[in-house]
Amino acid sequence: MHIAIAGNIGAGKTTLTKLLAKHFKWEPHYEDVVDNPYLDDFYHQMERWSFNLQIYFLNSRFRQVQQIRESGKKIIQDRTIYEDAHIFAPNLYAMGLMTSRDFENYTSLFELMESLVKAPDLLIYLRSSIPNLVGQIHKRGREYENSISIDYLSRLNERYEAWIQTYTKGKLLIIDVDNINFVDNPEDLGDIISRIDAELNGLF
Protein backbone atom coordinates (compact mmCIF):
# COMPACT_ATOMS: atom_id res chain seq x y z
CA MET A 1 0.00 0.00 0.00
CA HIS A 2 1.28 3.42 -0.96
CA ILE A 3 0.11 6.62 0.78
CA ALA A 4 1.63 9.96 -0.27
CA ILE A 5 1.49 13.45 1.23
CA ALA A 6 1.57 16.48 -1.07
CA GLY A 7 1.76 20.16 -0.23
CA ASN A 8 3.71 23.38 -0.56
CA ILE A 9 6.99 24.16 1.23
CA GLY A 10 6.18 24.50 4.95
CA ALA A 11 2.73 22.84 4.81
CA GLY A 12 3.75 20.12 7.29
CA LYS A 13 4.33 17.11 5.02
CA THR A 14 7.37 15.69 6.81
CA THR A 15 5.87 16.15 10.27
CA LEU A 16 2.57 14.51 9.31
CA THR A 17 4.44 11.69 7.54
CA LYS A 18 6.28 10.94 10.82
CA LEU A 19 3.11 11.05 12.92
CA LEU A 20 1.07 8.87 10.56
CA ALA A 21 3.91 6.38 10.12
CA LYS A 22 4.08 6.00 13.88
CA HIS A 23 0.31 5.61 14.30
CA PHE A 24 -0.38 3.23 11.42
CA LYS A 25 3.00 1.40 11.66
CA TRP A 26 3.76 2.41 8.07
CA GLU A 27 7.31 2.75 6.74
CA PRO A 28 8.09 6.43 6.03
CA HIS A 29 9.97 7.57 2.91
CA TYR A 30 11.19 11.16 3.15
CA GLU A 31 12.23 13.77 0.63
CA ASP A 32 16.01 13.89 0.26
CA VAL A 33 16.83 17.40 1.51
CA VAL A 34 19.78 16.57 3.78
CA ASP A 35 21.96 14.85 1.19
CA ASN A 36 20.74 16.87 -1.79
CA PRO A 37 23.89 18.34 -3.40
CA TYR A 38 22.00 21.08 -5.31
CA LEU A 39 19.51 22.55 -2.84
CA ASP A 40 21.71 25.17 -1.20
CA ASP A 41 23.18 26.31 -4.54
CA PHE A 42 19.69 26.44 -6.06
CA TYR A 43 18.27 28.84 -3.47
CA HIS A 44 21.26 31.17 -3.96
CA GLN A 45 21.31 30.99 -7.78
CA MET A 46 18.03 29.55 -9.04
CA GLU A 47 18.55 30.10 -12.76
CA ARG A 48 21.91 28.29 -12.78
CA TRP A 49 20.84 25.24 -10.77
CA SER A 50 17.10 24.81 -11.51
CA PHE A 51 17.46 22.05 -14.12
CA ASN A 52 20.06 20.14 -12.10
CA LEU A 53 17.88 20.25 -8.99
CA GLN A 54 14.72 19.14 -10.79
CA ILE A 55 16.52 16.22 -12.45
CA TYR A 56 17.96 15.21 -9.07
CA PHE A 57 14.48 15.21 -7.48
CA LEU A 58 12.94 13.38 -10.43
CA ASN A 59 15.59 10.66 -10.27
CA SER A 60 15.28 10.38 -6.48
CA ARG A 61 11.49 10.13 -6.47
CA PHE A 62 11.33 7.74 -9.42
CA ARG A 63 13.66 5.39 -7.50
CA GLN A 64 11.50 5.83 -4.41
CA VAL A 65 8.28 4.90 -6.20
CA GLN A 66 9.91 1.85 -7.80
CA GLN A 67 11.19 0.70 -4.39
CA ILE A 68 7.77 1.27 -2.81
CA ARG A 69 6.03 -0.95 -5.36
CA GLU A 70 8.69 -3.66 -5.28
CA SER A 71 8.78 -3.80 -1.47
CA GLY A 72 5.12 -4.77 -1.06
CA LYS A 73 5.17 -2.91 2.30
CA LYS A 74 2.76 -0.31 3.64
CA ILE A 75 4.60 2.93 2.94
CA ILE A 76 3.90 6.63 3.41
CA GLN A 77 5.81 9.02 1.16
CA ASP A 78 6.71 12.66 1.84
CA ARG A 79 5.98 14.45 -1.48
CA THR A 80 5.19 12.84 -4.85
CA ILE A 81 6.83 12.61 -8.26
CA TYR A 82 3.87 14.61 -9.67
CA GLU A 83 4.64 17.75 -7.68
CA ASP A 84 8.02 18.21 -9.32
CA ALA A 85 6.55 17.96 -12.81
CA HIS A 86 3.24 19.79 -12.33
CA ILE A 87 4.30 22.48 -9.87
CA PHE A 88 8.01 23.12 -9.36
CA ALA A 89 9.46 22.69 -12.87
CA PRO A 90 6.67 24.62 -14.72
CA ASN A 91 6.91 27.36 -12.10
CA LEU A 92 10.67 27.73 -12.65
CA TYR A 93 10.10 27.82 -16.40
CA ALA A 94 7.32 30.42 -16.11
CA MET A 95 9.55 32.60 -13.90
CA GLY A 96 12.32 32.50 -16.49
CA LEU A 97 14.51 30.40 -14.19
CA MET A 98 14.63 27.38 -16.53
CA THR A 99 15.23 27.52 -20.29
CA SER A 100 12.72 26.15 -22.82
CA ARG A 101 15.29 23.54 -23.87
CA ASP A 102 15.77 22.30 -20.30
CA PHE A 103 12.04 22.36 -19.54
CA GLU A 104 11.18 20.33 -22.64
CA ASN A 105 13.94 17.83 -21.84
CA TYR A 106 12.70 17.56 -18.26
CA THR A 107 9.04 17.16 -19.29
CA SER A 108 9.91 14.44 -21.79
CA LEU A 109 11.84 12.50 -19.13
CA PHE A 110 8.98 12.87 -16.61
CA GLU A 111 6.40 11.59 -19.11
CA LEU A 112 8.52 8.50 -19.72
CA MET A 113 8.91 7.89 -15.97
CA GLU A 114 5.22 8.55 -15.31
CA SER A 115 4.28 5.81 -17.78
CA LEU A 116 6.27 3.35 -15.65
CA VAL A 117 4.99 4.22 -12.17
CA LYS A 118 1.69 3.62 -10.41
CA ALA A 119 -0.08 6.42 -8.54
CA PRO A 120 -0.42 6.27 -4.73
CA ASP A 121 -3.44 4.39 -3.35
CA LEU A 122 -4.27 7.55 -1.39
CA LEU A 123 -2.95 11.08 -1.90
CA ILE A 124 -3.25 13.45 1.06
CA TYR A 125 -3.01 17.12 0.08
CA LEU A 126 -2.18 19.67 2.79
CA ARG A 127 -3.81 22.96 1.80
CA SER A 128 -2.28 26.06 3.38
CA SER A 129 -2.37 29.84 3.12
CA ILE A 130 0.81 31.83 2.45
CA PRO A 131 1.00 33.38 5.97
CA ASN A 132 0.82 29.91 7.50
CA LEU A 133 3.56 28.60 5.18
CA VAL A 134 5.83 31.56 5.96
CA GLY A 135 5.31 31.06 9.69
CA GLN A 136 6.16 27.36 9.49
CA ILE A 137 9.24 27.97 7.32
CA HIS A 138 10.58 30.55 9.77
CA LYS A 139 9.80 28.31 12.73
CA ARG A 140 11.82 25.35 11.42
CA GLY A 141 14.75 27.58 10.50
CA ARG A 142 16.35 25.75 7.56
CA GLU A 143 19.07 28.14 6.44
CA TYR A 144 18.69 27.48 2.71
CA GLU A 145 14.97 28.39 2.91
CA ASN A 146 15.58 31.89 4.28
CA SER A 147 15.80 33.36 0.78
CA ILE A 148 12.42 31.97 -0.40
CA SER A 149 10.22 34.90 -1.44
CA ILE A 150 6.49 35.26 -0.79
CA ASP A 151 6.02 35.67 -4.56
CA TYR A 152 7.70 32.28 -5.15
CA LEU A 153 5.52 30.58 -2.50
CA SER A 154 2.37 32.22 -3.89
CA ARG A 155 3.10 31.00 -7.41
CA LEU A 156 3.66 27.48 -6.08
CA ASN A 157 0.39 27.62 -4.12
CA GLU A 158 -1.57 28.64 -7.22
CA ARG A 159 -0.08 25.71 -9.15
CA TYR A 160 -0.80 23.30 -6.30
CA GLU A 161 -4.45 24.34 -6.26
CA ALA A 162 -4.75 24.05 -10.06
CA TRP A 163 -3.10 20.60 -10.02
CA ILE A 164 -5.20 19.21 -7.16
CA GLN A 165 -8.43 20.30 -8.89
CA THR A 166 -7.58 18.05 -11.83
CA TYR A 167 -6.04 15.12 -9.92
CA THR A 168 -7.82 11.89 -10.93
CA LYS A 169 -5.12 9.24 -10.56
CA GLY A 170 -6.48 7.79 -7.32
CA LYS A 171 -8.18 8.57 -4.02
CA LEU A 172 -7.61 12.11 -2.75
CA LEU A 173 -7.99 13.54 0.76
CA ILE A 174 -7.66 17.33 1.18
CA ILE A 175 -6.75 18.65 4.64
CA ASP A 176 -6.88 22.39 5.34
CA VAL A 177 -3.99 22.92 7.76
CA ASP A 178 -4.43 26.63 8.49
CA ASN A 179 -6.66 26.25 11.53
CA ILE A 180 -5.42 22.96 12.95
CA ASN A 181 -2.33 21.91 14.90
CA PHE A 182 -1.78 18.18 14.46
CA VAL A 183 1.57 18.39 16.29
CA ASP A 184 0.37 19.77 19.63
CA ASN A 185 -3.35 18.95 19.52
CA PRO A 186 -4.14 15.21 19.65
CA GLU A 187 -7.75 15.90 18.63
CA ASP A 188 -6.62 17.45 15.34
CA LEU A 189 -4.36 14.50 14.61
CA GLY A 190 -7.18 12.11 15.61
CA ASP A 191 -9.51 13.80 13.15
CA ILE A 192 -6.99 13.36 10.31
CA ILE A 193 -6.49 9.69 11.26
CA SER A 194 -10.27 9.12 11.24
CA ARG A 195 -10.56 10.67 7.78
CA ILE A 196 -7.71 8.50 6.49
CA ASP A 197 -9.32 5.40 8.02
CA ALA A 198 -12.56 6.20 6.21
CA GLU A 199 -10.72 6.56 2.88
CA LEU A 200 -8.71 3.36 3.37
CA ASN A 201 -11.76 1.34 4.41
CA GLY A 202 -13.32 2.38 1.15
CA LEU A 203 -10.21 1.22 -0.70
CA PHE A 204 -9.73 -2.30 0.62
Q: 11 labelled as ligand-binding?
A: yes
Q: 170 labelled as ligand-binding?
A: no
Mean pLDDT along residues 49-65: 94
159 in the Ramachandran plot: left (φ > 0), alpha (ψ -120 to 50) or beta?
Answer: alpha
Q: Give the pLDDT band (50/70/90) at residue 77.
A: very high
- What domain count does the chain have? 1
Q: Give the pLDDT band (50/70/90) at residue 148.
A: confident
The residue with greater pLDDT, 180 or 33, is 180
At 96, which helix (H) or strand (E)?
none
The total of other beta-carbon atoms located within 10 Å of residue 119's CB is 18
Mean pLDDT along residues 93-118: 96
Q: 14 labelled as ligand-binding?
A: yes
pLDDT at 95: 93
pTM given for the model: 0.91
- Is the pLDDT at 64 greater than 60, yes or no? yes
pLDDT at 139: 81
| Alpha carbon of residue 159 to chain centroid | 12
Q: Torsions phi, psi of 116, nearest 5?
A: -105, -5
Domain that residue 94 falls in:
2-203
Q: 15 labelled as ligand-binding?
A: yes
Question: What residues are labeled active site?
Answer: 78
CATH number of the domain to which 78 belongs: 3.40.50.300
Dist CA 163 CA 24 (whole Å): 28
